[in-house]
Amino acid sequence: MTKDEVLGMFREQAKTDTTESPLMNTIILDLAGLLAESRGRLSKENFDALVRIGGALYKEGHSQYQARTDVGVIMKNATDSENQG
């Protein structure tokens, strides 16, 4: 199987999945579970590659969470300023 074939599978899955996208933390937890279960069956190189992918997903999820938190603080401060003024 080639990378392009796998990317095609990703695209098809994204198109056919009519449910709301799962939260990033759900995806990260799923990957962590798969890695924990398959540790002895994967080569070190494959395991390390999947850990790097998990790290990138974790970093992106943390950035999204931080951005939402920052927007919430900004909105609260704006509302507080309007109420005081």
In sequence order, the 6+-apart residues with CB closer than 8 A to the CB of 25 are 61
- Is the residue at 54 inside a domain? yes
- Is the residue at 80 inside a domain? yes
- With pLDDT > 90 as the criterion, what percentage of the chain qualifies? 45
Q: Which pLDDT value is given to residue 21? A: 64
* Alpha carbon distance 39, 27 (integer Å): 18
* Alpha carbon distance 23, 64 (integer Å): 11
Tally of domains in the chain: 1
Q: Which pLDDT value is given to residue 3? A: 93
- State pLDDT tens for residues 49-77: 999 999 999 898 888 878 878 887 888 88
**Domain coverage including residue 75:** 44-85
Q: Which pLDDT value is given to residue 75? A: 84
Which has more confidence, 67 or 45? 45
- Is the residue at 85 inside a domain? yes
